[in-house]
Structure 1
């Protein structure tokens, strides 16, 4: 190397030294930034939503944003702080939902200088919860800018959880985002959680470099279009430990619960299946007679007004006890709901719950008592008429009380 430099002209030697010093400064800046951010643990959520045209401006209501929650690494009580949103605007997109002056603008060029970005914007955001907007000329540029910021977080921060949400979307937009990540792989060392529309092609989706470690959870929904599940037996559904499906006409049978989904830790089927109601009693019997992983949790939709005791007919009476839970419904005589605690042949204890959502959807929920909390009973619905909530003659309940009860029973179940 020394001999090479001796052969260079003086001006070239000077330029080489300047370049070396500059590269050294970049390296030191990256190390310094990494040290400053390593004391924070982040939850990231990347969302790409596509809706119909806005009623006000008639522009596309597609939104692309990155949410970031963080906590101090030495926080003994694990207190998550401000949720910061980074919005990526593009030419022709709707901005009606955003109020001027509420968000600070980040120039896209700063995304190529992480240390400057931290000093000028992120440090303040960590203190006061500032939201940001990054203006981009086109959707393509917005996707690149979003991917660049995401890679900054994965490179310099400790990522605790990452969730990708693609709602009301088709393959084309995801392919653009996927192409960026394949060309610029993020340093993501955890398994992501994904929530996607049923129109997404799982063959294309699952091959992204961002999923090289596999998935922690996958949720698939039907939104505006009733796509249906194109490949209900795709390998990614079999391998993922947590699966939530709310898609029309699920083809799964009782045998699939212990065949295709035998290794699934938490399975929630929130649509019609080919599992008969009488087979749910056999399902409970299986949990009683066969030793199951205590992390195993099932939630299966069923029709009819079955009570929790209807699913216990194949279980010895001494193996279970019915538990009472006071209803959240306000009235002169609050009703008592019932759930069951069952002890299997091996001493394992299981909670059996009938959950009601949106007043008409019913699910049999089974989980180990080691993972049972009072929150599991928030949508408990047993031994009551769902239609009572719609009865306008119920004079004992005020409008505000009725609204509160609506909120209690209209939430969407998920695995936490």
Structure 2
């Protein structure tokens, strides 16, 4: 009995059922299809939100922001070394950060997908890591038409310029922070889904959807709620969502020991290196939303494409995923794929359980035999004949030593 209601039979054991855990993403996707006509999916409870007006003075509120000055690179400042600084900020729904280096043509499509979001209360940070004049000219054009866009022009940094992202986030004002690769794009509901997801979570992601060498979509399910899944991300080179699909609250970011900083040379994935910071924190509530909200073109799998060819391909995908009918069909196809994988997983789980049960029975049988032999040995040593033959056994052992 829970909250005065009786749970369905077997519901208490579902958390230990691997098939039930595997089908969680499938159930979320099915719910997404039913709710798809809504512009913003409401698969979590929606908290009341004050209306934001960018120019309204009533949105200026005092918030505590920890000072970030006076620290050496790579050295974390103690959490409470200085009292919090009171700053007056305009609170907005989201900060979107696009790191860029040399993808000039695709950057325009990425920005367009942000501007097409159902949630328009955002700021867009384009963080340059050694960009060319062509990128500067493009960003100047984009920012001239949209004052929500800010450009951070940094010289080329180590690896992918992760430290530049940290510097830019010191000026962030969004409740949540979402990232977008400069050669990827989002569906119109991406920020809405993340906004709902991060209402009661600190760190999360949506379903990663990629495009393979044949132009087919590939979905990568994940489950941050599963301790075993998080353990794999922390101990192995295992990651099911990259930068374009990850997000966190700004408050959670400010509680991290470092935030974005240079990934060690021996570690291959800069995004996983960052995600581990969140997953290592005992206070971090991590969640997965198995809803497709973006497309990753996986340019590293098609290295022969020119920048313009990548941009044309991304524009075609952006046009597709902007269409509600296509998104619904895509979601339905993913459900079918997940359903097949779920059945396969369930069969494998049943086979594994059967094998485990067989081995457990064998262990019990051998344990019974060992116990029986031990009891027989004890009775033999306690017998009168064993005591009478003790001198003979002693003589035999001495003779053997000679």
TM-score, shorter chain, exceeding 0.5: no
Whichever of the two has the greater Rg, that structure is: 2
TM-score range, shorter chain: under 0.3
Greater share of strand: 1
TM-score (norm 2): 0.20
